[in-house]
């Protein structure tokens, strides 16, 4: 691949993939993901930008059923502990949600961050040492979009204690676990995110999240049109 310009049709495909991305939990089919497809997705993740070119990520493919059952048990324990933090109405709704596809998805994937890679002096890390995590999240987003382009669903399982994952998968403690993902082909991709469809939350208006020159700063005269685009949705492709 070279550095050629992106065509109009290619641009549309990129935006379509971004807007059609979903966090999938309950729609997985048992069809295995071909190795060639997994290789493309992982390569896309590996081509993410990283601060100081540190490339801190590692990927652990998890397909063993016994291991995934242990993860499911860890999830259930943590879900039940988290449930007590909600009021009665929210607790009932929270416990009704399908929040993972650990056993249903044919492939699980652990994404880690190795902060010591290339030594203590990495360009850009002195002032913001947590950039190893930020860089790994860029790889996860690349992976997610590549998977969506392959019509493969991805679900991020965050209701897990890291120490349990370290023990189950023998991951050394200096290695940071950033994400536990479920991947697989799905019956369909929902038009609306699950939690929005369930009434748990909704996407915030973009114009309320964009400021100019200072915190909560209003748009300058040359950017009044941008503010209008953000407010009326004309920024959508």
Which pLDDT belongs to residue 99?
92
- Alpha-carbon span 143 to 145, nearest angstrom: 6
The Cα-based distances of 57 to 74, 143, 176 in angstroms read 24, 12, 9
Which pLDDT belongs to residue 234?
60
Provide the CATH number for the domain formed by 9-201 in this structure. Answer: 3.40.109.10
Which pLDDT belongs to residue 120?
75
Which pLDDT belongs to residue 19?
94
Q: Nearest-CA neighbor of 143 among 193, 99, 107? A: 107
Which pLDDT belongs to residue 122?
74
Which pLDDT belongs to residue 1?
59
Cβ neighbour number for residue 144 with a 10 Å cutoff = 26
Q: Residues of the chain whose pLDDT is less than 70?
A: 1-2, 124, 234-237
Determine the 3-state secondary structure of 186 from DSSP: strand
The Cα-based distances of 187 to 16, 28, 40, 84, 152 in angstroms read 19, 7, 22, 33, 10
Residue with tokens 């690349």: 142
Which pLDDT belongs to residue 2?
63
Which pLDDT belongs to residue 118?
76
Strands 57-62 and 107-113, bridge-based pairing: antiparallel
Q: Where are the domains of the chain?
A: 9-201, 204-237
């Amino acid at each position: 691949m070279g550095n050629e310009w992106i065509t109009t049709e290619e641009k549309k495909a990129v935006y379509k993939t971004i807007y059609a991305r979903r966090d999938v939990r309950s729609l997985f089919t048992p069809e295995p993901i071909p190795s060639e497809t997994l290789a493309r997705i992982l390569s896309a993740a590996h081509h993410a930008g990283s601060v100081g070119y540190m490339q801190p990520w590692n990927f652990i493919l998890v397909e063993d059923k016994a291991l995934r059952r242990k993860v499911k048990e860890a999830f259930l324990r943590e879900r039940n502990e988290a449930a007590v933090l909600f009021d009665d109405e929210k607790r009932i709704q929270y416990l009704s949600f399908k929040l993972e596809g650990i056993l249903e998805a044919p492939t699980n994937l652990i994404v880690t961050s190795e902060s010591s890679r290339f030594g203590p002096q990495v360009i850009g890390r002195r002032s913001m040492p947590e950039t190893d995590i930020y860089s790994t999240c860029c790889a996860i987003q690349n992976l997610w979009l590549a998977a969506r382009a392959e019509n493969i669903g991805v679900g991020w399982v965050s209701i897990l204690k890291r120490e349990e994952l370290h023990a189950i998968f023998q991951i050394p403690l200096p290695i940071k676990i950033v994400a536990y993902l479920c991947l697989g082909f799905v019956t369909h991709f929902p038009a609306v995110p699950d939690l929005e469809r369930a009434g748990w939350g909704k996407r915030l208006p973009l114009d309320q999240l964009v400021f100019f020159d200072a915190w909560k700063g209003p748009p300058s005269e040359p950017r009044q049109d941008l503010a209008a685009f953000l407010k009326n949705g004309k920024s959508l492709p």
